A and B are shown apart, each in its own frame.
Chain A
Amino acid sequence: MLHLVLRRLAATVPVLLLVTAGVFALLHLTPGDPIDAMMAESVDAAAKAALRTELGLDQPLPVQYAAWMGRLLRGDLGHSIRNGEPVVESVSRRLGPSLQLAALAMAISLLIAFPVGIVSAVRRNTAVDRAGTTFSLFGICMPNFLLALLLIFVFGVTLRWLPISGYVDPVEEPWDGLRSLALPAVTLGLALAAVVTRTLRSSMLEALGEDYVRTARAKGLAEGRVVRGHVLRNALIPVVTVLGLQLGTLIGGAVITEYVFALPGVGRLVVDAVFARDYPLVQGVVLLIALGFIASNLVVDLLYGLIDPRIRHR
């Protein structure tokens, strides 16, 4: 297991280097002068010159890159040109709502996907199965923002059961907090549930056809135990893979969901930074998101090794 951890960590190093180079290059991809793009409304030449010096844009590219990397390694991701707040602080302040949203969405998706996926597979080609597969198709094709607006329309505007925007910290006020996160979490959770349901169903169907299932049945094991002990356990591996693959989609979905429901999360921060043309902030947040994404992919890979001994020993 240690070997696997070390090998995966080593493979991450060149990718990390390229990722930082890419994020650095982002600023230089702007057609024209990035300073003009950032300070479009300001005509103050002195302010522009000051920002140029501050960002080091008046220096040769390699020098800029070295300086930027040097600061990065010391944990300095730069700061917003709008309010001067360091990127790390902006992000850490907004991490809470994002993580709460992600955890709730994950819980909702698993609560839906497991029963639906298992029943769909066990009762293949029945009405239940068809309802399950229709649900997953629906969830996969439904854009996040449309689902969000549909939920707002039904539960917020028409029935008036739940708040349609704003955020209350559930740690401080559990009831109002959960209510404020309910619609966003369902939006994000349903999309994920659809993918997990589809994967679980097909991997269960595959496992149901295996010889060991026939053996288990032949030795007189109750069907419930066959499904729980033999089918489900083996069907879990692709589900973990898909959950890992879906992380990126989940983060993207969170960006949209936070935008629609006005949640003060990291996703909302990205969108705001993009529209404020606050490029240092965009760079910093995007880099942090990428690092988080790489780290969680690493965890998924290791989890994979934990579930399946065959991978651990390869």
Chain B
Amino acid sequence: MASSIPASVIADRRWEVLRRTAGARLAPIGAVVLVLALVVAVAAPVVAPHDPIRQDLGNTLAPPGRAHWLGTDNVGRDVLSRVIWGTRVSLVAGFVSVAIAVLVGGLLGIVAGYAGGRVDGLVMRLMDAVLSFPPLVLALALGAVLGAGLVGVLLALGVVYTPTFARLTRGQVLAVKARDYVDAARALGAPGWRIACRHVLPNAATPIVVQASLSVAFAILAEASLSFLGLGIQPPEASWGSMINAGRGYLQQAPWIVFGPGAALFVTVVGLNFVGDAVRDALDPRARG
């Protein structure tokens, strides 16, 4: 049984994965970006130099300077403070929507892979149907009916990413289900749910973790795109996408309104990509170049 493996060996293996993740060439940069973003998001009220939604109509479109490091926008709000508060929205959107997709998709994948037959066919055709929509178009349509706002965006993106995880989990379950140790557990009389939780899931998890870590970056981009189009967080609340859209008309006089949040978005996505790549390389020996 699984418990006969000493805990220290498992801990060692985990440590090894962590060590390899950190050892990848670009991973440290990614890790720094991720940690910085997390800290900024959590500590937004403390680190933001100004109130992100307080307008100062006497000081609009001020260029970056000592008082406002990233300048002010068209109604005199501090761009840096808004970028800092926007970090929260971006990270929440990225992590929560992927978490929804992993949970729902994972559950559907386990049910499909474990039950097989008609259930499997139905679930997988359903996932094919979701994949028949271009992701952004689906998110837009769902966002339209669910209503603008963070919750609508989270649900819409969760739906968009669900099939990826359902397919992945199903494939893994099918592969792991056929292994000898599953047969052994069954022969020992372990109930189905126990086999699924203790034996199948841990062994099927690796590619799911890899996919999840790569998906977060794309989910952040998707949230920014939806907010840019006006569907995400509603004004005056700050989100990088909506800030960029609002600054569009001032590209000539005040490019910092666009490029402040733009740089934050780009750096975060690049950083998360580095982390995702490193996780993949560490967990999947075949992908190691």
Contacts and interface: CB of A to CB of B under 8 A. Distances in A.
Contacts of B130: 22
A70 interface: no
Interface stretch (B52-60, B69-77, B184-192, B221-229): B221-229
Contacts of B61: none
A66 interface: no
B65 interface: no
**What secondary structure prevails in chain A residues at the interface with B?**
helix
A286 B140 CA distance: 10
B144 A274 contact: yes
B135 A248 contact: yes
Nearest to A289: B137
A158 B273 CA distance: 32
Contacts of B132: 15, 19, 290, 293-294, 297
A247 interface: yes
A251 B137 contact: yes
Contacts of B147: 30-31
Interface in A128-174: 137, 140-146, 149-150, 152-153, 157
A146 B142 contact: no
Given A14-B125, A27-B145, A249 B135 contact: yes
The 9 closest A-B pairs by CB, nearest first: A252-B136, A18-B129, A251-B134, A248-B134, A274-B144, A141-B269, A29-B145, A141-B270, A146-B262
Interface stretch (B11-19, B167-175, B244-252): B244-252
Interface string B229-251: 11100000000010011001001
Given A15-B129, A290-B132, A141 B273 contact: yes
Contacts of B248: 149, 260
Contact of A255 (B137, B241, B255): B137
Contacts of B251: 149, 152-153, 157
A289 B129 contact: no
A53 to B, nearest CB: 21
Contacts of B228: 143, 145, 256
A144 B270 CA distance: 14
20 contacts: A15-B125, A15-B132, A19-B132, A30-B145, A143-B221, A143-B228, A143-B266, A145-B241, A146-B258, A146-B262, A249-B136, A253-B136, A255-B137, A256-B136, A279-B145, A282-B141, A282-B144, A286-B137, A289-B134, A290-B137
Interface string A243-280: 00001110111011001100000000011001101010
B135 A289 contact: no
B137 A252 contact: yes
A290 B129 CA distance: 9
Contacts of A274: 140-141, 143-144, 231
Contacts of B266: 141-143, 146
Interface residues of A, number: 46
Interface string B175-214: 0000000000000000000000000000000000000000
B67 interface: no
A26 interface: yes
Nearest to A156: B251
A157 B128 CA distance: 44
Nearest to B228: A145
Contacts of A286: 133, 137-138, 141
Contacts of B146: 29-31
Given A15-B125, A251-B137, A256-B228, 20 more contacts: A19-B132, A27-B145, A30-B145, A31-B146, A31-B147, A137-B273, A141-B269, A141-B273, A143-B221, A143-B228, A145-B228, A248-B135, A249-B136, A271-B140, A271-B229, A274-B231, A279-B145, A282-B141, A290-B133, A297-B132
Interface of A: 14-15, 18-19, 22, 26-27, 29-31, 137, 140-146, 149-150, 152-153, 157, 247-249, 251-253, 255-256, 259-260, 270-271, 274-275, 277, 279, 282, 286, 289-290, 293-294, 297
Nearest to A13: B125
Given A274-B144, A275-B230, A293-B134, A149 B129 contact: no
Contacts of A294: 132
Nearest to A21: B129
Nearest to A22: B129
Given A18-B126, A153-B251, A144 B225 contact: yes
A279 B141 CA distance: 9
A73 B281 CA distance: 49
Contacts of B262: 146, 149-150
Nearest to B261: A146
A14 B132 CA distance: 12
A18 B125 contact: yes
A6 to B, nearest CB: 18
Contacts of A145: 224-225, 228, 241, 244-245
Contacts of B37: none
